[in-house]
Structure 1
């Protein structure tokens, strides 16, 4: 049986967690697949992701659309085998999604268990809520204070390395030029300042690596306007042309950073042979070299940034 590695996704309902995972899976062969790696979902994950992919593409049926995919009502585990193309998987990645309402205390024990087990956390950020109207809707949609509290409750006694990936979603509008990308990064650092301060504390500075990896989950739509109804925002998006198709961009980057982080952890002996995460990693030589090749395509400019723990990704050629 392949070794298991667990990753969770944090974000309140509607910020795009399922859209992110769908885009990551759908684009894998065109991105990380060049390293001759194969990502194979189990039957249940495959069926659900195919359904979600159809829903994402359907957003392009109209020139203007609102929102994205409906959020999940129950916890869901998406399981992927990772290994050499055409062979049995040597590593299993398990992405744990759960309803945004769980962050409100609906099932604190479940959240605690997930945060303890997962080597990496993807923090999904609704970019229009973060960027538009001076961040007027950010607290409502992204809940940065609430996200910070989750980490404080669960990372206070952290003993082993973890990776936190901030993933701005629906961010096509904010990646058009250098000025816009700088503003996107600035707003993330500003609105999540309390969380980043917590990560830079004495106990966590050497354990928690943080990166920002924007993902354009559709790629051909841009934010156009916001409509307020009953005190809640409804974000509208328009296609960049009438015949635009589904074309996500940079959906490979969160996974590239994750694999780079894991490989570095596997190679770094200072954490000792008894480190739990290192014991999980049953890497064979081929997988190590394939991941090494993939890691050199991690982006670190144009909206992408390593906020903390740069040494966690430094892998020699």
Structure 2
């Protein structure tokens, strides 16, 4: 689950899969942007680990704020054709270097059905990832009886990537993340219907995850469902047919709307609940055992992870789809 890097230290890889325009990059920006607001009294800190990540996210943050104010109504962050890595340090507040590096790989949706060097980079990222975020375009899933779901979300191709990842050694967590879902989660009934549609359309993948045989050291994989509102103020309005295909159009939910993401913490909370269990059970060298015994160096970090994981939601559209011991509170 963890790898060692000479510069980054202990690394946990996360790959974001999903179609072009589903909102994968928006999720990443909102997740980082809102972390310090939701971390509460825990002693955790999430920081950018390199200049490229910091600069890129600052630019994307401005694009999201413009979209949230209704400056543009057809997209948030423009997709790109490159596999990009974003590095975040996660550790006890003020500790340098942080105890863990989270390496997020953001994959362009176009690569799901292509070959070539970029696809090779994506395949490598998927194979080493302990956590997979499956981004789902909610309007394509929900509108017109899911008429555009296969075309837009490409669930069969996504399943192939997930199966490849689960074939590798080690435990895995698959997080289904419906995005652009503001319209559907406005009510508890709507949120539950969104969850039901995810379970229906991705039933074969969820069944595959739950059917994996457990090894001698426990279950192979777990899965959770966590819808996220990365903008908050914009809701799906309609599909618009153009020469280049069908486009999604959004509208402000109220006059004077602004950037107000919600539940961006939930995928991270579930991921870190998984992480704290994995981190506690990780193989340690004699030196690490000695240092931990001598000064309890890991104690504030693991306690912070546990505190952060307490507020994972399991109702009104949020659900554990496939149970795993690492998803239980330690």
TM surpasses 0.5? yes
Q: How many residues align?
A: 307
Alignment of 1:225-304 (within 5 A): 225-230=238-243, 232-268=245-281, 273=283, 284-304=298-318
User: What is the CA–CA distance in structure 2 between the aligned matches of 1:24 and 1:154, rounded to whole Å?
Assistant: 23
The reply on whether 1:48 has 2:53 as its aligned counterpart is no
Preserved contact between residue 63 and residue 238 of structure 1 (Cα < 8 Å): no
| RMSD (Å) for aligned C-alpha atoms | 2.2
**CA offset digits 1:209-246 (Å, max 9, x no partner):** 10011110011111122212247321111112211110
* Correspondent of 2:213 among 203, 209, 214: 203
Alignment equivalent of 1:101, drawn from 104, 110, 117:
110
Superposed, 1:208-219 pairs within 5 Å as 208-219=221-232
CA change 1:150–1:133 in 2 (3 A) is: same
Tell me the equivalent position of 2:12: 5
Q: Distance in 2 between matches of 1:314 and 1:209?
A: 11
Deviations 1:78-119 (A, max 9, x none): 001111222211111110112222211324432331121111
Equivalent position of 1:139 in the other structure: 150
In the TM superposition, 1:3-82 aligns within 5 A as 3-41=10-48, 42-62=50-70, 65-82=73-90
Matched position secondary structure for 1:299: coil
Normalising by structure 1, what TM-score?
0.90
SS of the counterpart of 2:314? coil
For residues 181-204 of structure 1, the C-alpha deviation after alignment (integer angstroms, 9 at most, x for no partner) is: 121111101111121121122436
Gap regions ≥5 residues in structure 2 = 1-7
Among candidates 308, 313, 317, match of residue 327 of structure 2: 313
Residue 188 of structure 2 corresponds to 178
> Can you list the C-alpha shifts for 1:117-160, whole angstroms capped at 9, x where unaligned?
111010111111110111111111110011012223443x3431
Q: Residue 4 of structure 2 aligns with which residue?
A: none
